[in-house]
Structure 1
Amino acid sequence: MADVIELWYLIQGDTQPFLLPVSTDKRIVNLRKDIWERGKNSILVGISAKDLVLWKVDEEVIVEPAAGLAKRVADCSPKRSKLESGHYVSTHFPAPVNKNTLHIVVERPIPVQPQREYSDPEPDINPIWSRREQTVERLFERLQREGLVYIRGTPASGKSTLLKLVHEHIRRRHPEAIVRIVKAWPQGTFQEWGGPIDRFRRLIPGYPFSNPRNTYILFDNGHQTYWDGGLWEYFIKDQVQSGFLYRAVLFCGYGNPSNRPVWYSGGVPPVVGPWSRVSLRRQNECGDDDDEEGIGLLLSRPEFDEYMANFKCFPLDSRFRDMVYEWTTGHAGAIDAIWQIIKSQKQNGSLDAYTVEDFYRLNPWEAFFTKLGQADFARGLPNEIEMHNSNVTNVMRKLLRNWTIGTGETEEEKEAVRTCHENGWIQADLIKTSLYDDDEIVYSFASPLHGVYISQKFTISDAQIPLQTVTDLTFDIIQRFKPVQLSESAQVGSLLTQRPMEARYQDEFYRRLGELVGDCVRISPEFLTTANAKKGCIDFFLPTQRWGISIIHEGNNLHEHCERFGLHSAYGAWLTSNDVVDWILLDCRAEMPEYPHEDVSNLFHAVFIENFTKVIVLDNKLKEVKKFDLVED
């Protein structure tokens, strides 16, 4: 005959234990029903008996005083083991048992309370922002058609602002729609967060919604979801893409630009077509660069002009606005950083427009980049400690010299590229190398200003420059040019945009200069800008010697350079009295110049002939001063 024993029980969430007799030949599944009968009208109301989990307490926990038992159990978390439904009570509690100790803790599920379906509050839109109406409307059209939009951009590139603008646009177009903002997706494992439905209920309040086709989920910091295969398999693929039940936008700080942005086991990762992918630069639905019809995080020129029109401190000269757009290519964080720097620089009530010359006069180079480093702009770049990582700095050097880099050649370099990408310091994009090959992933800086900022952060090396003047240095560098680098088409530039014609000369000069002087060289934003750049600044600056070098092509913008470098201009005064003690203007060309420029003593012409295998150097009076043969390694 089976024994009857009395066991102490404590139900999770209750404050008092209770004593209940049970036969030792009873199965645990039946004991669970007995416990449920006792609490079904109180602590277990609304809960099914099958959902209860019974745990044997494996450590001695004295019941008395009973009033404080629940707190003591919560504080000490005694060891416990799960009681399987098919086991007999006698398997775990042979008679006799200690009547003074707690025997079983009953775990109950927390009932899911029905939630009222509602949208997150409509966002506050800063009045100085560009409303980006065309971009937002095009993005909304893609969202309506495709169900999913996957947006990638480095920190401070305007993702959170665009999220707010999209949120506002949805509410205005569809006032009855539900818009939920998911600000973060916790990091962890599937075990910690349960199954997909449980996770979504906890992290997306209101899920599942009664009218999913009218529900929009906007993920800020969407890159935090990459670990969660359940989200991408069950929600993104099955409910957004295939089922078209929901519409979702992911705003990500980094990510794979291909059609397979995530990879996981236990399913087939979703394919994200080019029409659903948005990067920094503006691309159309075929994935091609398109300023007219494309969508991108970077502000278009009209959006930039709208943004700058809200600058009310003082007028801005059109040439200055052009310069800012060329330096930033529409990167919101970079534009805002310059805005914050200049807005306090003209407080005398003058109605004169703020010019390029004002900018150079009021912003010494080192001071300007120090202020940039204190702005939100710097979130997208490594700090000084991170720049001491040699693998990171090697990636940055390679980027500066080649404009883009691939995924890496060695395992060490591949890891460094991944580090830079996942920290948001570089942007990933696809380029097509030929009609027959697959697109390749390449990385670049988010804007020209990002690259220039990095060049300022390299520790100046101890390399001794073995030349006495900037002219001697320039001639030495020209001798090092490689014909193949000059005869090929210019490399793509920052953000894969087309480089100006003089880029092949500038790029080769920078490569050979770096070989000679190491990190003793700084670059200007104009060195990194595209074909529409307004020339007239130095491209390279050597701080140890305080030398400046500017390069033009076939005499282009020569007169503008001469005017800007003149001693009576603000820029000329900055050169001669402050940071630069000597400078040279190098005109690289394939044809002999026709006219001398006797008033520009710092001008030299480098004429490349015979398929770039020979170079003749002329001074400003067109007198031959050097002649070199160029050879390959």
Structure 2
Amino acid sequence: MSLLYYAFRKLLNAGAPDDIPPQPAYIMTGRCKGESMVDGQTVPCFCPKGQYQVVDHRPNLSELRCICGHYFSKHDSSPESTTSAPSALAPTPPRHARSPPRKRLPETFTERSLTVTALWDLIKRRQVVHIRGTPATGKSTLAHLLARHVSILEPELEVYHLCWPESFDYLTKSAPYSYLLNDLAHRSQDCDDWMDIDGLLIIDEAQASYRYSSLWNDLIKFLEPGFGLRVALFSSYGSASALVQEASTLTPLKLNSNQRVSLKRSAEHPDLCLLLSHDEFHDLVYRRCLSYGDSQPFHPSAELIEHLFGMTQGHAAASACVLEILSESKELRPFRKRALPIPLVDAIEFIQTDKFLKAALNYAKFARGLVSEEVLHKMPDLVKFLQTAVSQNFVSGDPAPGTPLELCYRKGWLQAELSSDDYTVYVFASPLHRRCTEFLLPQPSVPFPRSLYPTLKAFSFSVLRMFSSVALNIEAPLSDSAVSRPLEAGYQDEYYRASFELLGNLYLKSEWAGTQQTGWVDFAIPSEKWIVECVRDGDKLKEHIERFQMTGKYRQWISNQEMQEFILLDFRRSIPRKQRGMHFLSLLSLHPPASFLTAHLVHFLSNVGIDWLFHVVFADDFSSYTVYDSDCKAVPGESQIALLR
């Protein structure tokens, strides 16, 4: 035994630096036959294989105690439950450990100094902080930055940066927390001082620890501010309320709102969230611009940068994704060749195409937070559920086991957040996530019910009757990442939601760009070649009207028949005073048809007339609405229509 022990100790410590103490060696045996007390009940011991730390080169087997607390004699004599002698001494290989924090990050990584400082300050005040975010929101990077920050700023503190595994080699979910943490941190299994350690414990992938009740009920529950171990838990999903996770344990642990950090900023933490701040996003763009390109500079304009921030909301992987796609796109290469800032209008023409979306779906890190086409094809119930989520911007409900909501919640396709009235809703991580999900959803198998809605006007008026006064009364509509949106977005969102409720399927496509890169519209029904544009209170109404005219940006869609019917809805709360009825027709005389316009197109434009512009005027309390035409006259049958409640 002593020779074998010496050989393994020598092998285990070969090449180790002199200042690192020798690693422990263990005797491994079979399953434990003892009993343990769990929640006041006697249950079979959780230990599947005996593990005994050897501290003497001639160990007395009768005195060896397993990490489960039972002696050698309580275990089967070998892992195979045979009568053979105990298995040979073997070193314990490193498992699930993270390397020490690097002192430098890649040049393309933003340091997030203010966020990291705010997070560490919060941890010191609250002792335990739970950070939740869907995949690829930058949780692991933030955990790394936190570990590095504390190691440099307060080197006297012990910092344990661990990644919780899906399962342990020899421990079950009923194991005491000290065994679990010692296994991950490569500490001796007889160490039971975690609660008193003056340091920081960082657990990444902490959602995998929810089922290990001892960690939460025996350690985290008893940590008090100002004393002992501090804990930062980074999870890909978790409850938005006080509960750490719905029905996670028999006695669920609750955390205060000031102990929770999520995608969005909150009143408790105005300077702290997972999403990049405006300044952090600008820093990321600057760093990425320095590294991108095949010797060709990549300089997005200030307007384009703001637009990208809006569509990604500062989501780490989404931000990196769009910057990489734009920097490598052939469509924007002329600007790069001449070292010119890339204008917003030129970039948007590419961003609104299917080519851009396909490139985003092929960006591995970003795609981690999206459902796959394979899953959608196998689960029609999930398709219906995600159609609802896309049409409403969010969903609510109980994520009961086996439901589509529970699947989306656990997979990170939707994030649990609290609304302004402290109600749990589930949202997409960013507008880009929502748009990509819409793109992935299969086309409706049933044709559009043209017999019920023969014209776009008839369809739109039917959609208006499905509007909800409750949704329109919300001062700041909820959006992706639970970030408040401008009021005008509420009308567009409600049109999208109401059309889905009316049809029971997603025939509408948002931000449609067609095959010609000439801009995009709010909504389209491609199968019917219908286009819907929405404005609020007449904002830029003249500009929107001109888009549909002979010299407008949508002329190519009209000429190649991608657009056969269109409607412009002006949502407002006061009756318009300016008549616009003859504006469109008068342009034909002011701007004679150009040579590229066919006779068919001239005939089409001449007969469209003025019946595509309507003002939808709501009562002050959104209890009803009246539709007016472009001459400011009430449309027959569309006056004082009560909204749904």
Using the size of structure 2 for normalisation, the TM-score is 0.72
Q: Map 1:375-386 to 2 at 5 A.
A: 375=363, 376-386=365-375
SS, match of residue 628 in structure 1: coil
SS of match in other structure, 2:567: strand
Whole-angstrom CA distance in 2 between matches of 1:54 and 1:155: 46
> Out of 166, 189, 197, which is 2:178 matched to?
197
User: Matches of 1:340 and 1:143 in 2, distance apart?
Assistant: 34
> 1: distance between equivalents of 2:317 and 2:558?
28
- CA drift of 1:242 comes to 6.7
SS in 1 for 2:200: strand
Following the alignment from structure 2 to structure 1, what is the Cα–Cα distance between the partners of residues 564 and 4?
A: 78
Structure 1 counterpart of 2:184, one-letter code: L
Aligned to 1:225: 209
1:554, CA displacement in angstroms? 0.9
Partner of 1:147 in structure 2? 127
Structure 2 equivalent of residue 53 of structure 1: 72
- 2:522 is matched with 539
1:64 corresponds in structure 2 to: none
Structure 1 residue runs of 5 or longer lacking an equivalent are: 1-8, 16-39, 59-72, 81-102, 434-438, 527-535
The one-character-per-residue Cα deviations of 1:155-207 (angstroms, maximum 9, x if unpaired) are 11111221222122212212344333212324269548854333222211247
Q: Conserved in 2, the CA contact under 8 Å of 1:10 and 1:104?
A: no
Cα distance in structure 2, aligned partners of 1:372 and 1:394: 23
The DSSP-based 3-state class of the residue aligned with 1:539 is strand
Residue 151 of structure 1 and its aligned partner are, at CA, apart by 0.3
Query: Do residues 167 (structure 1) and 143 (structure 2) align?
Result: no
Q: CA deviation at 1:456?
A: 1.9
CA distance in 2, matches of 1:192, 1:482: 47
Given the two structures, how large is their TM-score scaled by the length of structure 1?
0.73
Alignment-derived partner of residue 604 in structure 1: 614
Q: 2:388 aligns with which of 379, 398, 412?
A: 398
- More divergent stretch after superposition (448-457 vs 256-265): 256-265
Asked if residue 120 in structure 1 is aligned to residue 92 in structure 2, the reply is no
Alpha-carbon distance between aligned partners in 2 of 1:41 and 1:520, rounded to the nearest angstrom: 70
Aligned counterpart, 1:360: 348
Give the superposition deviation at 1:279. 0.4
Residue identity matched to 2:460: T
Task: Work out which of the residue numbers 288, 298, 303 in structure 2 matches 1:319.
Answer: 303
Asked whether the equivalents of residues 2 and 58 of structure 2 are also in contact (C-alpha less than 8 Å), the reply is no
TM-aligned CA distance change 1:242 to 1:504, over 3 Å? closer
How far apart, in 1, do the equivalents of 2:217 and 2:278 lie?
Answer: 38
- Secondary structure of 2:521's aligned partner: coil
User: Distance between the aligned counterparts of 2:306 and 2:543, measured in 1?
Assistant: 15
Q: SS of the residue aligned with 1:446? A: coil
**Structure 1 match to 2:284:** 307
Task: Tell me what 1:35 maps to.
Answer: none
1:387 is matched with which residue?
Answer: 376
One-letter amino acid of the structure 1 residue matched with residue 258 of structure 2: W
CA distance in 2 between counterparts of 1:130 and 1:41 reads 46
Secondary structure of the 2:373 match is coil
Letter matched to residue 606 of structure 1: V
* 2-structure distance, mates of 1:362, 1:229: 50
Partner Cα distance (2:277, 2:559) in 1: 36
Alignment of 1:222-371 (within 5 A): 222-238=206-222, 240-241=223-224, 244-262=227-245, 270-285=253-268, 293-310=270-287, 311-312=289-290, 313-345=297-329, 346-348=332-334, 349-363=337-351, 365-371=353-359
Q: Match of 2:516?
A: none
Q: Structure 1 residues 568, 236: CA separation in 2 closer, same or farther (over 3 Å shift)?
A: farther
The 3-state SS of whatever aligns with 2:211 is coil
3-state SS of 1:126 partner: coil
- Judge conservation of contact 1:11–1:105 (CA < 8 Å) in 2: no
Match of 1:380, SS state, is coil
Contact 1:484–1:632 (Cα < 8 Å) also in 2:
no
- Does the 8 Å contact 2:176/2:215 carry over to 1? no
Measure, in 1, the Cα distance between the counterparts of 2:303 and 2:75: 78
Aligned residues: 535
CA apart distance, 1:278: 0.4
- Native 8 Å contact 2:394 2:427 kept in 1: yes
Supply the AA of the counterpart residue of 2:313.
Answer: T
Moved more, 205-214 or 275-284: 205-214
Distance in 2 separating the partners of 1:356 and 1:580: 24
Cα distance in 2 between the residues matched to 1:426 and 1:548:
29
C-alpha distance in 2 between matches for 1:483 and 1:351: 50
Distance 1:580 1:125, change over 3 A: farther
Q: Give the fraction of aligned pairs with identical amino acids, expressed as a percent.
A: 24
Output the amino acid matched with 2:528.
Q
What is the CA–CA distance in structure 1 between the aligned matches of 2:176 and 2:479, rounded to whole Å?
45
- What does the per-residue CA deviation read over 1:29-49, in whole Å, with 9 as the maximum and x for residues that have no partner? xxxxxxxxxxx9986348663
| Matches of 1:566 and 1:305, distance apart in 2 | 38
What is the distance in 1 between the residues matched to 2:375 and 2:212?
Answer: 28
Q: 1:525 to 1:145 in 2, by over 3 A?
A: farther
Structure 1 217/486 Cα, relative in aligned 2: closer, same or farther at 3 Å? closer
- Report the residue type matching 1:131 in the other structure: E
CA distance in 1, matches of 2:104, 2:563: 46
* Equivalent residue letter for 2:507: C
| Whole-angstrom CA distance in 1 between matches of 2:473 and 2:424 | 25
| 1:592-631 pair list within 5 angstroms | 592-597=575-580, 603-608=613-618, 612-619=623-630, 622=632, 627-629=637-639, 630-631=641-642
Secondary structure in structure 2 of the residue aligned to 1:400: helix
Q: Unaligned 5+ residue runs, structure 2?
A: 8-53, 66-70, 291-296, 514-518, 585-609
- Could you say what secondary structure the match of 1:323 adopts? helix
- How far apart are the structure 2 equivalents of 1:304 and 1:471? 42
- 1:500 is aligned to 2:486: yes
What displacement does 1:246 show? 1.9
Equivalent residues in 2 for 1:449-460, closer than 5 Å? 449-460=432-443
Deviates more, 1:160-169 or 1:579-588: 579-588
Alignment equivalent of 1:442, drawn from 425, 450, 455: 425
Distance of 2:508 and 2:396 partners within structure 1:
24
Match of 2:591 in 1: none
Closer, same or farther: CA 47–195 of 1 in aligned 2, 3 Å = farther
What amino acid does structure 2 have at the position aligned with 1:458?
L
> What amino acid sits opposite 1:421 in the alignment?
Y
Aligned AA (2:412): G
Per-residue CA shift, 1:310-367, capped at 9, x if unaligned? 3243221222222212212211121111112100123341233212221233345222
CA pair 275-490 structure 1, distance change in 2 beyond 3 A: closer
Output the aligned Cα RMSD: 4.1
Q: Is the 8 A contact 1:522 1:542 kept in 2?
A: yes
CA deviation digits over 1:385-417, x for unaligned, max 9?
A: 2223233223323323433332339x68x7221
Please state how far the C-alpha of 1:254 moved relative to its aligned partner: 0.4
How far apart, in 2, do the equivalents of 1:136 and 1:396 lie?
Answer: 34
* Amino acid of the structure 2 residue aligned with 1:164: H
Q: Which amino acid aligns with 1:44?
A: R
Highest CA radius of gyration, 1 or 2? 1
* CA drift at 1:371: 1.4
Q: Is the 8 A contact 2:98 2:161 kept in 1?
A: no
The CA deviation at 1:605 is: 2.2
